[in-house]
Amino acid sequence: MSSRTVIRGGLVITASDEIHADVLIEDGRIAALAASATPAADAFTADRTIDATGKYVIPGGVDAHTHMELPFGGTFASDTFETGTRAAAWGGTTTVVDFAVQTVGQSLRQGLDTWHAKAEGTCAIDYGFHMIVSDVNQETLKEMDLLVEEGVTSFKQFMAYPGVFYSDDGQILRAMQRSAENGGLIMMHAENGIAIDVLVEQALARGETDPRFHGEVRKALLEAEATHRAIRLAQVAGAPLYVVHVSATEAVAELTRARDEGLNVFGETCPQYLFLSTDNLAEPDFEGAKYVCSTPLRPKEHQAALWRGLRTNDLQVVSTDHCPFCFTGQKDLGRGDFSKIPNGLPGVENRMDLLHQAVVDGHISRRRWIEIACATPARMFGLYPKKGTIAPGADADVVVYDPAAEQVMSAGTHHMNVDYSAYEGRRVTGRVETVLSRGVPVITDREYTGRAGHGVYTPRSTCQYLT
């Protein structure tokens, strides 16, 4: 039995177009678009009609950087795949790409199987995986080829966190050389973790234990240095590079320079770096712990470089790095020692709204909003045009968005499984109204109508963004 839905009268926004159009959905895919109130649109017949008059009709968000249930610092990120993907849907995101973890001594396969088991049958929306490579050796290099073939086409490496996820320059170069051959994309956590650990030890010895010192020891220069080193290693390997969670002006400058040289080097930033700052890290009574993540929040002055990078396309993607830890019982682990605060912020539910606010504020255009939050992450990670756009043949992952609704972000009303909001009390204009995932209503007029297990694993092709 075929099922047909039509979304009538909205402003359809993609990365390339804005058009008042009716959207016909058949069997979970976009079947056709036609300008509203024309004979072609009037000819659309359906079992279900969604009135989007006065609303935007946008592709579901693609969040290419989440960490559901990530083990970190002796605890686990507090959102499961079930709670985290449900919260994502509430916020207008219909695909997440999460990070499977290889721990030292494990094979990539063991790590990937573990993450498949966590996610399978529990997700509200579709999901894929990147692979965190913590142990580069001859076996794991061979396994990278197999993973690319089965749809895990990107690999995160860490220049930070010695003794945990850290890779040295030789391991990084080898993985990059391999990805140059097999089409994989290396995603880099670019911070000089060896130098940072020295500064952490010295700060603690001086009695500097508060959360704000997390921001002081993880210096912008050490992000920039690692970004520069990663770029040159990738250049030597002949591999493309994607730098995750870019926060410092000096790191953006490294990306800009490399891109001006014509290199396939890409950068992602996150809402927390665009909207929060070291002022939050300095909040009294240990409240600053809520804002501990790495790379760290920076002084406000860095935000201008990030917005500029997003406008000039020196930064291409905004993902959340969603990695929530409750203030009570988890962030608490670092009272008296900032280095023991689990790193990460909640945000998977907030990204589309915060970036819409950036449209309202004049930082970016509506089409750029969709480009950095939907289309480019889909292309960067091999999901396009199945995900990230509204076009015939694409999955019907569609959000009806009310650009005029006002909301106040709060832990009291959000759906993430975490006891605080990084944006508590923030007033934003714009709100998700209805969300379809492959044509199935997951949010219907601000009610959750989805189901754990609707979301399916989505294998990816290699990067579709190379120049």
346 lies in the binding site for ligand URP (CB under 6 A): no
Contacts of 388 (CB under 8 A, 6+ apart): 15, 59, 62, 374, 375, 376, 377, 378, 379, 394
What is the smallest separation between the CB atom of 293 and ligand URP, expressed in angstroms? 3
Which of 359, 418 has the CB closer to ligand URP?
418
Is 351 a binding residue for ligand URP by CB under 6 A? The answer is no
- Cβ closer to Zn ion: 373 or 398? 373
Which of 119, 82, 66 lies closest to 452 in space, CA to CA? 82
Q: Helix or strand or coil: residue 101? A: strand
User: Is 14 in contact with 389 (CB distance < 8 Å)?
Assistant: yes
Pick one of 8, 130, 189, 290: the residue that binds Zn ion (CB under 5 A).
Answer: 189
Nearest to ligand URP by Cβ — which residue? 343
Least distance between Zn ion and beta carbon 397 (Å): 23
Q: Where are the alpha helices (DSSP H) in 24-80?
A: 39-42
**CA 345, 351, 356: angle at the middle one, nearest 5?**
145
Closest distance to ligand URP from the beta carbon of 272 (Å):
9
- Give the DSSP per-residue string, 135-157: --SHHHHHHHHHHHHTT--EEEE
Binding of Zn ion at residue 301 (CB under 5 A)?
no
Nearer to Zn ion, 244 or 463 (CB): 244
Residue spans of alpha helices (H) in 121-268:
138-149, 169-182, 193-205, 212-217, 220-237, 249-260
Both structure tokens of 192 = 């000089």
Say how far apart CA 374 and CA 273 lie, in whole Å: 19
By C-beta, is 47 or 279 nearer to Zn ion? 279
Q: Provide the β-strand partners of residue 434.
A: 400
**Pick from ligand URP, Zn ion, none: which does 361 bind, CB < 5 to 8 A by kind?**
Zn ion
Closest separation in Å from C-beta 231 to ligand URP: 19
Q: How far is the CB of 131 from ligand URP (least distance, A)?
A: 14
Residues in 105-164 that interact with ligand URP by CB under 6 A = none
**Site stretch for Zn ion (CB under 5 A), options 82-90, 276-284, 360-368, 378-386:** 360-368
Q: Which of 111, 267, 334, 344 binds ligand URP (CB under 6 A)?
A: 344
- If binding is defined by CB under 6 A, does position 264 make contact with ligand URP? no
Residue 288 has what DSSP assignment? Answer: G
Minimum separation from the CB atom of position 245 to ligand URP (A): 6
Binding flag, residue 321, Zn ion (CB under 5 A): yes
User: Is residue 321 a contact residue for ligand URP (CB under 6 A)?
Assistant: yes
Q: CA 246, CA 158: separation in Å to the nearest integer? A: 13
> Among candidates 342, 328, 317, 373, which has minimal Cα distance to 67?
342
| 290 counts as binding Zn ion under rule CB under 5 A | no
Q: State the binding partner of 343 from Zn ion, ligand URP, none, CB within 5 to 8 A by kind.
A: ligand URP
Which residues in this chain contact ligand URP in the complex, by CB under 6 A? 67, 189, 245, 293-294, 321, 323, 343-344
Which residues in this chain contact Zn ion in the complex, by CB under 5 A? 189, 321, 361
